[in-house]
Structure formats: C-alpha cells, structure tokens
Amino acid sequence: MTFTLLILFALLLVLGAPISVSLGLSSAATIFFYDLPLSVVLQRAVNSIDSSPLLAVPMFIMAANLLTTTGVTRYMFDVVRMIVGRLRGGMAHVNVLLSLIFSGMSGAALADIGALGGMQVREMVNQGYTRRFAAGVSIAAATIGPIFPPSIPIIIFATAAEVSAVKLLLAGIVPALLITAMLMGYIALIARSQNLPRDTVRPKLREFLRLVTISFPAMLTPVLLIGGLLSGTFGPTEAAGLTVAYAVLIGFLVYRKLTISSLIETARDTVLATGNILFVVAAAALFAWVLTMDQVPARASDWLLGISENPLVLLLILNLVLLVAGMFLEGIAAILIIAPIVTPALVAAGAPPEQIGIVMVLNLMIGLLTPPVGMSLYMMSIAAKMPFAEVLRGVVPFFIPLFTALALVTLFPSLSAWLPNLLME
C-alpha cells in the first residue's frame, strides 16, 4: 500500500501537480485501489482541520497582513537603522534585527520576505552592497520568522505531533535569538574581511525618538503575545485573536492607514492564504492516514529504535532525512507527513518534544533556501526582481551560520526545552 502511495505521489509531483493535489489525489487513489472505505477521504480531511490550535493560523496571518498594511515596517526599519547602522556592515545587521522584530508579528518566512525583502535589498544596494549579498542576507534572516513565536509551522507541528503548542512556541524563543546572533556574528566577520560599508545615516535624538514613538505600538505586538503566553493568560488561539484585534485597533486609531476597504482586502488575502495552508493540512492528513493504516509509523519507530536508542543519533538521522525532504517538499506538508512518524520514536528515546519540533522546523526552513523547490528563493527573486540563480548564489555563504545554529539546537536539548520547562512546570 505504501509503495503504491509513494509512486502515485511522486508521479503527480513530476507531472507538475501542486503538493496539496499530489498528496490528496495519491491518497484517495490508494484508498480506492485497496478497497478501503471512500468515506474516509472526507472524514479525515474535515477532521484534520477541525482543530482549535489551527484556528490561530488564519488569525496570525491576518495580523501580519494588517500590520504590513499600516506601513509600520518602514518606521521599524529606520529605528533599527539608527541603532546599528553605523557599524561596519550595518545595513546587513539591520536586516537581521528587523527580521527578528517582524517575526514576532508574522510567523512565516515567506511573509517576512514578501513584506520586507524588496525594501531590504533596495536599501542595501543604495548603500553600496551587491544585490547578491543583500538578497542572501535577507533570505537567511527570514528563517528566524518560523522559529520565533508566533510561528505557523510550529503550530502545525504541535497539531501533527499532538504536543503542547504553547510549550513549542516558547521553545522557539532561545533558538531564534541564537540564529540572530549567529547571523550577526557571521556578518561581522564578513564586514571586517571585505570592508563592508557603514550606513550613511546620521542619527539625531529628536528624529530617533519620533520614530520610536511611531513604531512603539506595532513593536508592542510581540511583547503582548509572548507576555500572554508566558503568564498563561491565554493559549495560541486566544493570543492570535487578541493580536488581530490589537492590529485593527492601532491600524484605525493610531496609524490611521487602515480603512474599511483595506480591511476587506486584507481579509480576502488572509482567506486565500489560509485556504492554501489548510488544503495542504487536509491532504497531508489523508496521506498520513494511509501510512498509518499500513503501520508505517509503528514500523518506522521500531526501525529507528533498532538503529539506536540514543536521541542524538536519531536526531542526526532526522536531520539528514529532513535536509533531503526540504529540497522537494513544502515545509508544512513535510511536517504533517514526517512528524507523526518520527516523533514517537524520538520521544521514546528521550528527546524532548520541544527540541524535536524546533529541529524539524528549522531544518525545513533551511530547506526553503535550497532548490529545486526553494520557495524563499523564488519569493526573493520576485520581490527584488533578481534572477533565481543570482539569489541562490547570494544565500549559499549564509548556510554556514544557519547550519551552525541547527547543529547547536540538535546537540543541546536545553536550548529548546529549558525555557518552556522553566515557565510551565
């Protein structure tokens, strides 16, 4: 059964079918060929998206769209620029820090690139950086978004692996800061060896305070979100709802850039984005059900534990699998297929679920930077109006800090598990 499923899935991908169609159609065909009840197709698809944590996904998407509509990203860019721009290679540092800040609002790598990528590349080129280097920095920094809360891939993982979404979201804070530090450290080395330019901006206290005042309501968004999660006041779904309400409030009353028509347009874009994600979720759930019926998760668990009961060894195997899967599969689909298969074995071996989730998400977000799928590469190519090959050449050097961060998260479970265990015991 599994062999038939995988052959059909691969064939549909080769024929150019979207990942969601490939997952769903191959699963439905396998169910039909093996005379399984066809009613399962609809039942599994509907049940998979009937999930409280998944309600957070459309609301986080809408909150990010609303904040982008207000134009506040430009103000935040200027604030960060005044703080670190005068360092050598300062505009590259600005890109990384801005991605960290914006990640507390978007929760997705592609959202970061779509909202910030064009502006980041344009500003760096104006300061004397090559377009290749500017695109590479911007894409690498966008990997922070899916790690720092609110992270849509982490919520998807929590749903697929049936673990606490709150703990997983909190688990992403330290690794996200680690990735930020790695990228900035690497940029500092390049800045010294290649004599990268300093920013030409001359910070003035009055202008700086004005920009901070303007940006403060938007920059308060991740503070409210993380504060609520840390205090236990609300979970991911409630946090997402509050974030949307807050974004609407400041959009109308503070920035006054949000109108009824732009609100409707934002809602439409959110529905389209959510539909794409939930279509993948429903199709992947059906795919995973067929694998479960053929006892693939149980056999995979036995096979992994038969290789080793050392969690580090199993995590290294997982990394290798994910590096290959990330080149061909869209991140959310890969999480939904792989997480239920490997998580039980890794947990049984002693790996914390928080570490498993962060390792998986970070690995697959790096996969967004690798061809042939490489959605971040395509998104930056569109945003910065650059050839795909040029974007790829720009990001290759930044695999060094990203893989270093991945290695550290793999080797040291406490980087992921320490904070949620401390705060939620």
Mean pLDDT highest for which of 31-45, 49-63, 132-146?
132-146
Q: How do residues 102-132 score in pLDDT, each as one tens digit? A: 776 666 666 667 667 777 788 888 888 888 9
Q: How do residues 53-77 score in pLDDT, each as one tens digit? A: 777 778 878 887 787 777 777 778 8
pLDDT in the model for residue 373: 67
Lowest mean pLDDT among 100-104, 128-132, 174-178, 408-412: 100-104
Lowest mean pLDDT among 119-133, 326-340, 403-417: 326-340
Lowest mean pLDDT among 2-11, 72-81, 372-381: 372-381
Report the share of the chain in percent with pLDDT over 70.
Answer: 96
pLDDT in the model for residue 110: 65
pLDDT in the model for residue 115: 65
Task: Using pLDDT thresholds of 50, 70 and 90, give the confidence band for residue 179.
Answer: very high
Kindly state the tokens that stand for 403: 């893989």
Kindly give, in sequence order, each residue whose CB lies less than 8 Å from that of residue 353, ignoring residues fewer than 6 positions away.
161, 163, 164, 167, 168, 343, 347
Which has more pLDDT, 65 or 347?
Answer: 347
**Is pLDDT above 70 for 258?**
yes
CB 394 within 8 A of CB 377: no
pLDDT in the model for residue 405: 95
pLDDT in the model for residue 73: 74
pLDDT in the model for residue 104: 67
pLDDT in the model for residue 279: 82
pLDDT in the model for residue 352: 92
DSSP letters spanning 137-183: HHHHHGGGTTTSSS-HHHHHHHHHHT--HHHHHHHTHHHHHHHHHHH
**Is pLDDT above 90 for 411?**
yes
First to last CA, the chain: 43
Rounded distance between C-alpha atoms, residue 26 and residue 14, angstroms: 13
pLDDT in the model for residue 105: 67
Task: Using pLDDT thresholds of 50, 70 and 90, give the confidence band for residue 309.
Answer: confident
Mean pLDDT, residues 126-144: 88
**Is pLDDT above 70 for 248?**
yes
Lowest mean pLDDT among 75-79, 149-153, 199-203, 314-318: 199-203
pLDDT in the model for residue 239: 78
Phi, psi of 366 (to 5 degrees): -65, -35
Kindly state the tokens that stand for 87: 């360092």
Mean pLDDT, residues 214-231: 78
Task: Tell how many helices (H) and how many strands (E) occur in the chain.
Answer: 23, 0
Q: What is the mean pLDDT of the chain?
A: 83
pLDDT in the model for residue 328: 73
pLDDT in the model for residue 361: 92
Which has more pLDDT, 169 or 2?
Answer: 169
**Is pLDDT above 90 for 224?**
no
**Is pLDDT above 90 for 358?**
yes
Cis peptide, bond prior to residue 372, ω within 30 of zero:
yes
Cis peptide, bond prior to residue 150, ω within 30 of zero:
yes
